Amino acid sequence: MQTSAVYDSLHPLEINLLAAFSQSADKPVSDSSLQEISRLEPSQVSMALGWLQAKELVRIHSEVTTAWVGLTEVGHRYLEIGSPPEWIVKTCRQGAEEGRSFTVKDLQGLNTFPPAELSRAFGLLKKEGAIALGAGGRIEATETPSPTVEKLQTLLNQVKESPQELLSFSPDQQALLRQYAVKRGSAQEPFRIDDRVQREYTPTKTGKAVAKRCHAGAVEEVSQLTPDMLKDGSWRSKRFRKYTISLRPPRVAPGRRHPYREFLDLVKHKLVAMGFQEMRGPLVETEFWDMDALYMPQFHPARAIHDVYFVKTPTHAETIAEPFLSQVAATHEHGGPTGSSGWGYRYDKERARRLILRSQGTAVSARTLASNPLVPGKYFSMARCFRYDQVDATHATDFFQIEGIVLGDDINFRTLLGLLTIFAKEMAQAQESKFFPAYFPFTEPSVELHVRHPKLGWMELGGAGLFRPEVTQPLGVTVPVIAWGLGLDRMAMVALGIHDIRELFSVDLEKVRTLRGRFA
């Protein structure tokens, strides 16, 4: 295997250790030295050494067993309150100063040390002449110091920080340590002597080659670059973990336009680009503006197809603006000044005030006609409309109608067809369109626009016509006016891949978040 490939396969701990070998000029190094150089935990060193040996990058050079001396719990206690011989001498001297004296029994009664330890201490002290037994078995501390007490004290202090190799002590001390070390049958001792196997390791030939690539410190693998690494430049010595980039990333929910409204935005901007000005109107309308002003007679079947929602309260608007009410009424009854015969019925002004939910976007156009529109002028609205229909896959409770008007001296049947041709191209990218005679109560002539959509084939895109003079003149408009309406929902639904119109207004957030499509 190439050394680079071997290197790439290394765990950061392995790199760290190989670097430590490298630093020691490839000489045999003990595990304790490796620990020191690499600054790794002992467990990490032993783990990494295991891996490196398995990969045959490192082998054991030598193995030496040594004895090490450390403190036991008892030893720590001795450091705290003194060893038993030291304690006996100290306690007796203190007692003498206070005029008190102790027998062996008395000291045993203090329960500071187990009786066995105390007995050994009495034996030692008597042997070294540090105590004498007086009348009644009272213990007296002599002036003679006990050498053993002092030696023990020294040794306790020497190994209190960390274990020391037994061989580093004098033979004399070694004997004392062995005497006071834990052994079978004598658990309560201050010292412990353990055998430690010390191994020295050396890199193999491949190991040496790989080790050259390993730099001390360039070995820490990190997953995240941090500002600190950039500040102190430590990123240079880091290895950045390689990711499996073929995995899917986690999902987030971005801020996002509603897809159907995005579609309507596109339509809106196209209309503005074609020179149309937006108009708006109220959701609650009078029958007057919704239908009468559009020359839909109050009795006519064309009105029955507009099954509308009536408002519960108030049922009627207070007034309908004049002169529009009178002019529309006259036009319905006998044509008024429009040159029409009118519908020839008695117009009901009360009914004109009946409040309903707007049933068609043309109501907004009617209001615009009555408010001094620009001539020439182009207007559009995206009006929320309501029909008294059963809700199903093709009927929403409420929906948008995209409608508008064009006013101008040059407006006639041919310019109407011209406008529809532009709509076919702009709204449906259609190169082909067909016009069919249609019927709307408020336009004459009336046209239905069919286009060949590049994806959907032939479809009805909208309806249009020239407003009847019975509509425009009573509202004060004397130029011809195109009225048009576009049916674009099907295009939106196909682009979004939905088949039920209700899903355009879905309450299912997951659906809203995932609904997508490109509207060309």
**335 close to 341: Cβ distance less than 8 angstroms:** yes
CA pair distance 171, 185, nearest whole angstrom: 24
- Least distance (Å) between residue 455 CB and other proteins: 23
C-beta of 107 vs 504, nearer to other proteins: 504
Q: Of 40 and 424, which CB lies nearer to other proteins in the complex structure?
A: 424
Q: What's the rounded Cα separation, in Å, for the pair 448 and 463?
A: 4
Count other C-beta atoms under 10 Å from residue 325's C-beta. Answer: 20
Q: Which residues of 200-227 are buried (b: 16+ CB within 10 A; e: fewer)?
A: bbbbbeebbebbebbbbeebeeeeeeee
Nearer to other proteins, 201 or 343 (CB): 343
Residues 346-405 that bind other proteins (CB under 8 A): 355, 357, 374, 376-378, 384, 386, 388-391, 396-398
CB-based contact 114:121 (threshold 8 Å): no
Which listed residue (185, 301, 322, 518) binds other proteins by CB under 8 A? Answer: 301
How many residues bind other proteins (CB under 8 A)? The answer is: 106
Using CB under 8 A, which residues numbered 316 to 335 contact other proteins? 317-319, 335
Q: C-beta of 246: minimal distance to other proteins in Å?
A: 23
Minimum Å gap between C-beta 287 and other proteins is 12
Cβ closest to other proteins, residue 75 vs residue 463: 463
Sign of CA pseudo-dihedral 232, 233, 235, 237: negative
How distant is the alpha carbon of residue 326 from its chain centre? 64
- Residue 327 C-beta: closest distance to other proteins, Å: 15
Query: Vertex 196, ends 195 and 198: CA angle to 5°?
Result: 150
CB environment 453-480: b (16+ within 10 A), e (fewer): beeeeebebbbbbbbbbbbbbbbebeeb
Q: Taking a C-beta distance cutoff of 8 angstroms, is the pair 519, 493 a contact?
A: no
- Nearest approach in angstroms of CB 512 to other proteins is 6
Which residues from 195-254 bind other proteins, rule CB under 8 A?
251, 253-254
Among 74, 411, 493, 495, binds other proteins (CB under 8 A): 411
Is the Cβ of residue 309 or residue 519 nearer to other proteins in the bound state? 309
Whichever of 86 and 287 has its CB closer to other proteins, that residue is 287
Minimum CB separation from other proteins for residue 232, in Å? Answer: 34
Q: How far is the CB of 223 from other proteins (least distance, A)?
A: 24
> Would you say how long the chain is, in residues?
520
Q: Does 421 bind other proteins (CB under 8 A)?
A: yes
- In the list 2, 43, 244, 313, the residue contacting other proteins (rule: CB under 8 A) is 313
**Contact (Cβ atoms closer than 8 angstroms) between residue 247 and residue 504:** no
Which residues, 249 to 268, sit near other proteins by CB under 8 A?
A: 251, 253-258, 260-261, 265, 268
Residue type, 492: A
- Looking only at Cα atoms, what is the longest distance across the chain? 153
Which residues from 268-297 bind other proteins, rule CB under 8 A?
268, 271-286
In the range 433-492, which residues lie near other proteins by CB under 8 A? 434-439, 441, 444-447, 466, 468-470, 480, 482
Q: What is the DSSP code (8-state) at residue 249?
A: P
C-alpha torsion angle, residues 227, 233, 237, 238 (rounded to 10): 10
Rg of the chain taking only CA atoms, in angstroms: 52
At 141 the three-state DSSP class reads: strand
Distances (CA, A) of 434 to 420, 421, 447, 453: 10, 9, 10, 12
Interface residue with other proteins among 340, 348, 351, 452 (CB under 8 A) is 340
Residues 138-157 touching other proteins, rule: CB under 8 A, are none
Which residue type does 63 have?
Answer: E
8 Å CB contact between 459 and 425: no
- Quick check: 385 and 487 in contact, CB under 8 A? no
CB of 311 to other proteins, least distance (A): 6
Nearer to other proteins, 136 or 437 (CB): 437
- Chain positions 481 to 500 lying near other proteins, rule: CB under 8 A, are 482
Contact range with other proteins by CB under 8 A, out of 54-62, 133-141, 412-420, 451-459 = 412-420
Part of the chain binding other proteins (CB under 8 A), chosen from 51-59, 61-69, 137-145, 414-422: 414-422
Q: How far apart are CA 19 and CA 212, in angstroms?
A: 8
Three-class SS of residue 87? helix
Minimum CB–partner distance for residue 73 and other proteins (Å): 50
Which residue, 34 or 264, is less far from other proteins as judged by CB?
264
Q: Nearer Cβ to other proteins, position 165 or 410? A: 410
Q: Which is nearer to other proteins, 240 or 505 (CB)?
A: 505
Pick 115 or 344: Cβ nearer other proteins: 344
Look at residue 472 and give its three-state secondary structure: helix
